[in-house]
Chains A and B, each alone.
Chain A
Amino acid sequence: MLYVQAVINGLLVGGVYSLMALGLSLIFGVMRVINFAHGDMMVWGMYLSYWLFVRLGVDPYVSILVTGAVVFLLGAVVQQGLVNRILEAPHEMQILLMLGVALTLENLALVIWGPDPRRVNTAYALRTYWLGPIVLDLPRVATFVLALALALALYLFLKRTDLGRMIRAASDNRVGALLVGTDILKVFALAFGIGAACVGAAGSLMSPFLPFSPSTGIFFTVTSFNIVIIGGMGSLLGAFVGGLLVGVSESLGAVILVPSLKELFSFVLLILILLFRPQGLLGGSR
């Protein structure tokens, strides 16, 4: 029964992981850039959410709109100002650049807010529902539902709108998209922005039940990489499914092993994934 509970919890958290990974996958799919600063952008979303909650009493589920927008801007600015200049550069340079961004973001957060862990303690944080013998706590359920909603919104945007189609075209065939007159740099900025917005929103969604500090960033980054590599670099469906999978396995891992070794589990998983399935379970273009 403990295991079923763990699986349920894992699924609920997995929703946010999926959202996080969708953002990363979108960025990679369109620009072939690996966003090393992904987790740190999420942490900024979390800090923003916290600040809005503590200063203005804004519920984190509402502040998604703000965090999403702000991190979108952050992503777009990073793209326009920095990433654009190194699109043709060797991969190592791109990674170092994004690493620089990650370091800057993480330590700026450290300078501003200090190293102590924060958490958004909403009034309803302890509200639980019973589904037979399974406990469901409200924050996790709300997070899951909203994460799913956002993922669906993203999917519809990419499939049904013109902008979305442009983005998909650019990711499938950059030269082709250029030939039909796509303003490719705008598409890139948009894609990076949306990818960042996903992760900023994910931050808001996570903040009610996960304590965070500046150093949490790297953990989210690695988890995102884990998911995206499992699901297939550039595959959005893979990112979605992978997020749920990783959420569940992490949760189970915490139950089977000592909880403090949860991080250890992610890294071991990462190594195994790197060695055995860098193309991902759902294929993908790498």
Chain B
Amino acid sequence: MVPLSWYLILAAALFCIGLYGVLARRNAIAVLMGVELMMNAVIINLVAFWRYIQPTLINGQVFAVVVFAVAAAEASVGLALIISIYRRRNSVVAEDMNLLKW
């Protein structure tokens, strides 16, 4: 078997890429995509830990499925928000959504 650390590094790399996407992308949908990446990195992490530490227990799988569900829900809500904003302002640029500025 491949050492656990490889999966962890993979997950970390994906996470960072996703983080970069969230922090630095202009387009709001791209931000959501970054969030999805971060979620998936988490899932990889979870599955790796499950497989390598306690493969017999079902807890890891269940945890991963829950995270899937959360990711899906969050993506749909996020997209709904962005669509409603788009309908108002005809733009999805994240920088311009600063109404809560002081």
Check if A and B associate. no
